[in-house]
Structure 1
Amino acid sequence: MNLVDILILSNGPGEVTTWVRPVVKALRDKLGNNRDEVRISVVLSPCPNASGKEAAIALSYPEVDRVQSAEHFWQFLLWGKTVENWDWSDRGIIIFLGGDQIFPVIIGKKLGYRTVVYAEWEARWHNFIDRFAVMNPQVSAKVSPKYADKFTVVGDIMLEAQKQLNNPQSPSPNPQAPIIGLLPGSKAAKLTQGVPLMLKIAEYIHSKRPEMKFVIPVAPTLDLETLASFADPQKNPFAETFQFSGASLVVSEPSSNYPVLQTSQGIYVELHQENPAYDLLSRCCICLTTVGANTAELGALGVPMLVLLPTQQLDAMRSWDGLPGLLANLPGLGSTFAKIINWLFLRRKGLLAWPNIWAKAEIVPEIVGKLQANDIGEMVIDLIDHPEKLEAMRNQLRQARGESGAAQKIAQIVSEEIGNWK
């Protein structure tokens, strides 16, 4: 068998951790681990949500042979040359797992490779792409019949998270050890507000329910010192907006096997760095999260959540995709653009959390506005005091998440496309 190159195009931290990971594993399971026969490369494109660690994360996957970071993408797109001058086989498949769908069209033409696009909500360039792996039938509903044979419904890649749990049915949390998960995000735009707000909420809940345990599954792109800096009022003046007095990082705490953030009121919040954190998340009775990939992972795991979008600082949210994200992050003018974009967004807000988008209904609460910790804390306590509400939310999440096995189906499509080479 001659060498086949598989080139994966991706971009942000959510895509690299929740899409690329299961797909490369499925590809190796399907196509084998002989690197003389199948070589897997990952090329990243710029993303406003990126932390700069995405390339290292992708390279840590044992199934991946080589990775190029986003800073070198435009050179590759325009000229077909990587910064390390990679060689390419004359046979190959491009798999699109994040970015702009025009990228596989351009790069596929340059390399002469067949193209497979994973499309969640919209599929473009039907006449130029060879195969589309779509999340649900709605994506292909309006496609011209002449392109219908290019489309295969594979389901949601995010659901591969569920398969990494020992129990495929997302166990109910242990009532003897109630855990509340705090997911403030991974980028400064979200952490600035999310960390002090969520820690203040934890303090309020603990004052009413001292038996509660709090955990933060730390994003793989975030180090503990950086996370802790957003809990320090001296480094993050925005903490005062939520009347949060601060917390400090304790790397070795005798009462815990994990590093903790210790608040000024003496509350310990454990910091878990295992990645992916699916087992931990599945043991949470409820999670507080921001908008983004976190909501998809929690939805796939069937974990109840409250989705928080504080608006005390309109220019703080700059992690939008596409042109809005680029404008909001421009030097100098970015703050002004961010305020305008977020003001327009709040006026026309639709559903934000991925489970709600899947279900086309608000099955997990989305709380937007000038949020106060005590109010959110009372909402959490009410849900915990009424476990039937949490169970109803779990059931709705399970119904909304659709079919699983997307990564394996994508690997099958790739195998078929390899077979189309003469």
Structure 2
Amino acid sequence: MNDIQPIDIIILSNAPGEVTTWVRPVVRALRAKLGNDRSLVRISAMLSPCPNASGKEVQILTSYPEIDRAQGAEHFTKFLIWGKTAENWDWRERGIVIFLGGDQFPPVVIGKRLGYQTVVYAEWTARWHNLIDRFAVMNAAVTTKVKPKYLDRFTVVGDLMVETQTSLNPKLVDRNSEAITIGLLPGSKSAKLGMGLPLMLAIAEHIQAANPLVKFAIPVAPTIDLQTLASYADPSKNPIIALVNGATATLEFDAPIPYLQTATGLKVELHTEFPAYDWLSQCTLCLTTIGANTAELGGLGVPMIVLIALQQMDAMRAWDGLPGILVNLPLVGSPIAKIVNTIAYWKMGNYKFAWPNIWAGREIVPELVGNLDAKTVAEFTLDYLEHPEKLAAMRSDLRQVRGEAGAADKLAAIVADLIYSQR
């Protein structure tokens, strides 16, 4: 890289899922490809507004050693309109804008203003074919509506969601262990935690009552602290607990690993390492909500049961796009959420939400939808524990559908090609 002029790389992203499952492997691949000399290659990350954001995405971005600087979503509009960052960042003469989540038009604006080339990662749809320099797409289906004269801008790189598996240390995987550990992934945002955490704790109580040898743990998202997580198991702070017949719990620190303890004595360890791939890979099974976590578990080949609780139709506010904006509006958000969630519930019979099921085009991991009852879900889960051949079949299916790793490396190669072509 020392035979080129210094260059700036701008990463555009938005939601916590994209920040953890797309940005992380891409910046790692960029550094592996382009080197760590910051005087030659500087990587900046910018967030655009997202209704599902937790507010801690900048903290996650700055924890990645490959990234040199990061800016929050609250400053994005000002930068998009006026070209000014909150900290008055300087920009090098040459650069590349990489889109990894959000709306695909901002990279056009930013690229034109700074005179930088643009690369868009397109998962399902690619837009602005005439204005974007290169597209890295998930599969060939994304190119079906592209005019022939623009096809040379498109490269199929694969699914960034499956890059999870490349972060796993295989030496730590022990599939033959007799220990049974169930991971609980209730989400990281209030819309999911309100129902998800107390419901999963209640499910865990029923499972442990039937099989005291089963252990439970939660990989705590970096966007939430332990006290906030525990508040969703506190009936004085979370009225939804009663709605889902959930379990309450207190946060305890009298052990090497903090844990939540319920009234029955159930202890759920709280793992704060990030990403928790090495630990998750040890799980016999995970109970999870929908989201990027299903892709991460799928990438690791960890069996899962996906829970979509609908006890309170206006409680689910984690939708993407326009529905996500509408259901979070003040005053009118709750009635709109009821309408949106009711319509979604009607359609759920023919639609899959877990990423492995989307990849496969069929249900390979069970999705339980509706007014979920903790005892019923526990019995469903125990059936898998009592029939390990079902878990083995699910694990095998996950390995087959997660695809080959390498999307991040291929995207980094596109960026390198653009850089060297500018010499």
User: TM-score range with shorter-chain normalisation?
Assistant: over 0.9
1:238 to 237, 240, 250: 240
Q: CA deviation at 1:172?
A: 5.7
Aligned partner of 2:123 in structure 1 is 120
User: Secondary structure at 1:371's aligned position in 2?
Assistant: coil
CA distance in 2, matches of 1:268, 1:189: 24
Structure 1, gaps ≥5 residues long: none
CA distance in 2, matches of 1:229, 1:166: 33
Q: CA deviation at 1:245?
A: 4.3
Normalised to the residue count of structure 2, the TM-score between the two structures is: 0.96
Q: CA deviation at 1:142?
A: 3.2
How big is each residue's C-alpha offset from its partner over 1:89-139, in whole Å with a ceiling of 9 and x where there is no partner?
Answer: 121100001111111111111111111111111111111111111112222
User: Identity of counterpart residues, as a percentage?
Assistant: 63
How big is each residue's C-alpha offset from its partner over 1:337-387, in whole Å with a ceiling of 9 and x where there is no partner?
Answer: 111111111112211111111111111111110000011101110011111
Aligned partner of 1:146 in structure 2 is 149
Q: CA deviation at 1:29?
A: 1.1
**Does residue 20 of structure 2 align to residue 17 of structure 1?**
yes
How big is each residue's C-alpha offset from its partner over 1:214-241, in whole Å with a ceiling of 9 and x where there is no partner?
Answer: 0100011010000000011111121112
**Does residue 63 of structure 2 align to residue 60 of structure 1?**
yes
Q: CA deviation at 1:243?
A: 2.7
CA distance in 2, matches of 1:29, 1:401: 23
CA contact (8 A) 1:120 1:139 kept: yes
CA contact (8 A) 2:200 2:246 kept: no
Aligned partner of 1:313 in structure 2 is 312
CA RMSD of aligned residues (A): 1.3
**Does residue 206 of structure 2 align to residue 195 of structure 1?**
no
Aligned partner of 2:278 in structure 1 is 279
What amino acid is aligned across from residue 179 of structure 2 in structure 1?
A
CA contact (8 A) 1:8 1:97 kept: yes
CA distance in 1, matches of 2:165, 2:123: 18
Normalised to the residue count of structure 1, the TM-score between the two structures is: 0.96
User: Secondary structure at 2:223's aligned position in 1?
Assistant: coil
Aligned partner of 2:179 in structure 1 is 177
CA distance in 1, matches of 2:242, 2:306: 22
CA distance in 2, matches of 1:177, 1:269: 15
User: Secondary structure at 1:216's aligned position in 2?
Assistant: strand
Aligned partner of 1:210 in structure 2 is 212
Q: CA deviation at 1:161?
A: 1.7
CA distance in 2, matches of 1:245, 1:50: 27
CA contact (8 A) 1:10 1:20 kept: yes
CA distance in 2, matches of 1:31, 1:19: 18
After superposition, residues 349-364 of structure 1 pair within 5 angstroms as 349=348, 350-364=351-365
What amino acid is aligned across from residue 81 of structure 2 in structure 1?
L
CA distance in 1, matches of 2:247, 2:135: 51
2:75 to 72, 80, 95: 72
Aligned partner of 2:380 in structure 1 is 379
How big is each residue's C-alpha offset from its partner over 1:47-103, in whole Å with a ceiling of 9 and x where there is no partner?
Answer: 111111111111121111111100000011112211112111121100001111111
Structure 2, gaps ≥5 residues long: none
User: Secondary structure at 1:348's aligned position in 2?
Assistant: helix
What amino acid is aligned across from residue 7 of structure 2 in structure 1?
V
What amino acid is aligned across from residue 383 of structure 1 in structure 2?
Y
How big is each residue's C-alpha offset from its partner over 1:10-55, in whole Å with a ceiling of 9 and x where there is no partner?
Answer: 0111111121111111111111111111110001001111111111
CA distance in 2, matches of 1:293, 1:57: 15
Equivalences, count? 418
